[in-house]
Amino acid sequence: MRPQINAERLLKRLRDLGEIGALPGGGVCRLALSEEDRAGRDQLVRWMEELGLAVSIDAIGNIWGIRPGTGDGPPVMIGSHIDTVATGGLYDGALGVMAGLEVVAALNDAGARTAHPLAVAAFTNEEGARFAPDMMGSGVHQGALDLSRMLAVQGIDGATLGEELARIGYAGDIPPKSLTPAAFLELHIEQGPVLERDGVRIGAVTGVQGISWTEFTISGQSNHAGTTPMDLRRDAGLAAARIAVEARAIASDFGPPQVATVGSVNFEPGLVNVVPERAVITVDLRNTDDERLKEAEARLHAAAHSFAEEEGCEITARSLARFAPVAFDETVVARIEGAAMARQLTVRRMPSGAGHDAQMFAPNCPTAMIFVPSKDGLSHNIAEHTEPAELIAGAEILLDVALDLLGEAQ
Amino acid sequence: MRPQINAERLLKRLRDLGEIGALPGGGVCRLALSEEDRAGRDQLVRWMEELGLAVSIDAIGNIWGIRPGTGDGPPVMIGSHIDTVATGGLYDGALGVMAGLEVVAALNDAGARTAHPLAVAAFTNEEGARFAPDMMGSGVHQGALDLSRMLAVQGIDGATLGEELARIGYAGDIPPKSLTPAAFLELHIEQGPVLERDGVRIGAVTGVQGISWTEFTISGQSNHAGTTPMDLRRDAGLAAARIAVEARAIASDFGPPQVATVGSVNFEPGLVNVVPERAVITVDLRNTDDERLKEAEARLHAAAHSFAEEEGCEITARSLARFAPVAFDETVVARIEGAAMARQLTVRRMPSGAGHDAQMFAPNCPTAMIFVPSKDGLSHNIAEHTEPAELIAGAEILLDVALDLLGEAQ
């Protein structure tokens, strides 16, 4: 008997987990290492044990549940996270972990034995909403982040991550990188509007966009809005506004997948009748191609400097974040496409605009992600929603690809 | 003997007044109806009495010092204010009142008798820094503002204007409009950079720019900066940035005296990686010609609406202030020009970009203002400065024009 996803069982686990930290108006709050996160972790460990998995906790608090294989190869990993932002939804992260459990349950139901072991993981602090940076548990596990530095990180509430891990009982002793993966899979909601808009049910994620965050600080001269002729002004605000307009022009001229966002701007003194003497503006540029991203950055910086110069202002630029694009494994992406086509589900290759735990594994093993549609593209929002049929479809593709990668018992 | 300005006496009064409310790093703080304003007023009243003026206080707290004329005509008025912003300079307002006292002193020294009486006035709360609106004392006196409503105004510190007037002993009983002016003169620092830049010593002020303040609120949709394709965005911040760029274009296309300023902008949620769902932006437009100002407003509103529409956003506009331009009296302006030329001082006709007490009198009697240069155009700033020679030159022109208007004793 071929293993099958049990839709009701998967949906019930998602509902049950969603009740832990549930908010009165809908959605959920399970900030990393909070009491709610502890309760969610405890429930996850109980489920893993009920499924017969060997549960272990590593030094950054990642939870691992392992189903043995018949061979002596490394495990195929399925992972995501169960922490949320302060006003999160039910599926961001949780879907990937609950679907991992459902894959195990389906294997168990079928009495299936696989060549590789299967490891289901829930990574610590993917969101970065309480402790920075995000993708912390997967980053430490894969060696991209330093364990001792991360344990010393202070949260927005002043708590120390290592102490909070110990307090909630999830300071394990397994060192980073102790589990070498054969492959890594992550099922996640898209968190964007593309699949829904285009009526596509499965996203075969080809990689994660590179991200470049720049903060420009422009210094001009504060002046009276009535008495200062235009040609004597050094208007920091105007230079900032021109940068915002240029950022959009860059995205238009480069075309997809280039995106550009100005999310934050501040003028000083910020009065109706005073020419701003200082403006601070952020620009978020993303592209899947690092060379194109560098071109976009170069054009933005050149334009910003010339806008400032034309206005007689000084300008400084500070990089707030810079991540190179991550490419997923072509073979695994093709398997996702193939699995979707075999089930007659529309599928599209697409990049991820957001960061995910999977990207930490991509440099070290064959890795890819499966996306399912997000209603109205909403995420990090209590209104986040994905239809049950889409959740199930995603889990079925995850099962199919996992079965391929796990291999039949010898 | 023709009356003469005594430079030392004028400069000493300016220095003495500047010590009342002096700030440790320079400049002065005499917020309206504060203890420092009370002390300044007490000093002013003592000086008026020493000069033999008949002192009276009206119902909004304006201080009047009257030197009798030989005829029975109404008084020629010289007035300005002694209140300041929280970090003000020594000359904004104070120069006009101290120069008025010096004109009286010069007349007294010369034993001059004039046909019209001369009234020197210090108006309550010109700055509007503690109580809104500004130009309050002159506005109430001339009937543009309602006395009882102004007495009920609450300040930024919660104090009520009428109670503060009584507390500092300046709640007089003379009703508004009780003194009908024959003419009104005000000497003031330019508060802008034009005279200094062009090496002109005297500004013959032809009127006050019309002012139009609009606040635009743009509503779009908050979205993830990475996962939302550009063509699905409804970016309130971009529409706001385009409005700021358009405001500058309007000023450029219209040319002087049109000015346009975006002093304040706010994005929500204001995060680097979130498309703004809400942006609030203010635009300050000024022109001396009301028809041109209306054209500028119309172009701004049309552009703002089309930017919002192109971005799929909603937009609302709220007028925060709208004052029509004020034209001063051609005859008095010409007398200022003539007086400057007679003293071989360079002079230029110019509008005022800022509001002044004089504009409240302009509809009701022949009115004009004299400007002297502001170093670097700075005002409302402890670094505000005008050279002593310029202060004296302005007072001499004030004296000359006042003598013309006061007429010789019959």
List pLDDT tens digits, range B248-277.
999 999 999 999 999 999 999 998 988 999
Can you name the residues that pair with B25 across neighbouring β-strands? Answer: none
Whole-number pLDDT of residue A176: 84
Query: For tokens 């543009």, what's the residue?
Result: B144
Q: Please check whether residue B284 touches A, CB under 8 A.
A: yes
Beta-carbon separation of A261 and B245 below 8 A: no
Per-residue pLDDT, averaged over B176-191, amounts to 93
Q: Please check whether residue B241 touches A, CB under 8 A.
A: yes
- What is the phi-psi region of residue B76: left when phi exceeds 0, alpha when psi lies from -120 to 50, beta otherwise? beta
Instruction: Kindly list the residues from chain A whose CB atom is less than 8 angstroms away from the CB atom of residue B238.
Output: 244-245, 248, 262
Under 8 Å between Cβ of A92 and A384: yes
Average model confidence (pLDDT) across chain B: 96
Closest CA of chain B from A197, distance in Å = 9
**Residue of A197, A213, A227, A285 to mutate for B, most B C-beta atoms under 10 A:** A227
Indicate the angle between helix axes A94-110 and A35-50, nearest 10 degrees. Answer: 10
Q: Please check whether residue B292 touches A, CB under 8 A.
A: no
Q: Does the annotation place A81 within a ligand binding site? A: yes
Whole-number pLDDT of residue B162: 97
Q: Does the annotation place B188 within a ligand binding site? A: yes
Under 8 Å between Cβ of A335 and A404: yes
Cβ neighbors of A291 (< 8 A, separation 6 or more) are: none
Helix (H, G, I), strand (E, B) or coil at A280: strand
- ipTM, 2 decimals? 0.84
Q: Is the pLDDT of residue B410 over 80?
A: no
Instruction: Kindly list the residues from chain A whose CB atom is less than 8 angstroms away from the CB atom of residue B267.
Output: 263-265
pLDDT digits (tens, 9 = 90+) for B318-338: 998 888 999 999 999 999 999
Q: Please check whether residue A211 touches B, CB under 8 A.
A: yes
**Nearest-Cα residue of chain B relative to residue A282:** B272
Neighbours of A329 (CB within 10 A): 18
Closest CA of chain B from A178, distance in Å = 32
Q: What's the CA gap between B37 and B33, in Å, rounded?
A: 5
Q: Which helix (H) or strand (E) holds B301?
A: helix B290-310
**Residue of A127, A191, A261, A278 to mutate for B, most B C-beta atoms under 10 A:** A261
Task: Compare CB distances from B353 to A224, A267, A353 and report the shortest one's residue.
Answer: A224
Q: Which two tokens stand for residue B325?
A: 């331009």
Task: Compare CB distances from B377 to A197, A227, A244 and report the shortest one's residue.
Answer: A227
Q: Does the annotation place A92 within a ligand binding site? A: yes
Cβ neighbors of A128 (< 8 A, separation 6 or more) are: A134, A135, A136
Task: Compare CB distances from B263 to A248, A261, A276 and report the shortest one's residue.
Answer: A276
Q: Which two tokens stand for residue B288?
A: 């001396």
**CATH number of this structure's domain B210-323, picked from the four choices 2.30.110.10, 3.40.190.120, 3.30.70.360, 3.10.580.10:** 3.30.70.360
Under 8 Å between Cβ of B354 and B259: no
Q: Is the pLDDT of residue B195 over 90?
A: yes
Task: Compare CB distances from B228 to A224, A232, A377 and report the shortest one's residue.
Answer: A377
Q: Please check whether residue B303 touches A, CB under 8 A.
A: no
A&B contacts, CB < 8 Å: 198
Query: For tokens 């002016």, what's the residue?
Result: B181
Task: Compare CB distances from A226 to B197, B245, B286 and report the shortest one's residue.
Answer: B286
Beta-carbon separation of B263 and A272 below 8 A: yes
**Residue of A189, A224, A318 to mutate for B, most B C-beta atoms under 10 A:** A224
Q: Which helix (H) or strand (E) holds B67?
A: strand B63-67
Beta-carbon separation of B263 and A242 below 8 A: no
Per-residue pLDDT, averaged over B220-246, amounts to 95
Q: Strand A278-287 and strand A210-219: pairing?
A: antiparallel
Q: Is the pLDDT of residue B180 over 90?
A: no
In this predicted structure, which of A317-321, B151-155, B340-344 has the lowest mean pLDDT? A317-321
Beta-carbon separation of B259 and A228 below 8 A: yes
Q: Does the annotation place B163 within a ligand binding site? A: no
- What is the phi-psi region of residue A400: left when phi exceeds 0, alpha when psi lies from -120 to 50, beta otherwise? alpha
- CATH fold, domain A7-207+327-406, is Aminopeptidase (3.40.630)
**Residue of B218, B273, B278 to mutate for A, most A C-beta atoms under 10 A:** B273
- The burial of B239, by beta-carbon neighbours within 10 Å (0-12 exposed, 13-18 middle, 19 or more buried), is given as buried
Which of A59, A54, A45 has its CA nearest to residue A178?
A59
**Residue of B246, B254, B265, B386 to mutate for A, most A C-beta atoms under 10 A:** B265
Ranges for all domains in chain B classified under CATH 3.30.70.360: 210-323
Residues A255-265 as b or e (16 or more Cβ within 10 Å = b): eebbbbbbbbb
Ranges for all domains in chain A classified under CATH 3.40.630.10: 7-207+327-406
Instruction: Identify whether A133 is preceded by a cis peptide bond (ω within 30 of 0).
Output: yes
Neighbours of B49 (CB within 10 A): 12
Whole-number pLDDT of residue B79: 98
Q: Is the pLDDT of residue B4 over 80?
A: yes
Q: Is the pLDDT of residue B76 over 80?
A: yes
Which of B135, B139, B211, B200 has its CA nearest to residue B350?
B200
Closest CA of chain A from B39, distance in Å = 29
Q: Please check whether residue A209 touches B, CB under 8 A.
A: yes
Per-residue pLDDT, averaged over B28-37, amounts to 97
pLDDT in tens, chain A (410 residues): 899 999 999 999 999 999 999 999 999 999 999 999 999 999 999 999 999 999 999 999 999 999 999 998 999 999 999 999 998 999 999 999 999 999 999 999 999 999 999 999 999 999 998 998 899 999 999 999 999 999 999 998 999 999 999 999 999 999 988 888 999 999 999 999 999 999 999 999 999 999 999 999 999 998 889 999 999 999 999 999 999 999 999 999 999 999 999 999 999 999 898 899 999 999 999 999 999 999 999 999 999 999 999 999 999 999 988 889 999 999 999 999 999 999 999 999 999 999 999 999 999 999 999 999 999 998 888 999 999 999 999 999 999 999 999 998 87
Whole-number pLDDT of residue B379: 87
Whole-number pLDDT of residue B105: 98
Task: Compare CB distances from A353 to B227, B237, B377 and report the shortest one's residue.
Answer: B227
Whole-number pLDDT of residue A300: 98
Beta-carbon separation of A261 and B273 below 8 A: yes
Task: Compare CB distances from B192 to A211, A227, A244 and report the shortest one's residue.
Answer: A227
Q: Of chain B residues 62-91, which have a CB less than 8 A from chain A? A: none
**CATH number of this structure's domain B7-207+326-406, picked from the four choices 2.60.110.10, 3.40.50.2300, 3.40.630.10, 3.40.50.180:** 3.40.630.10
Q: Does the annotation place A127 within a ligand binding site? A: yes
Ranges for all domains in chain B classified under CATH 3.40.630.10: 7-207+326-406
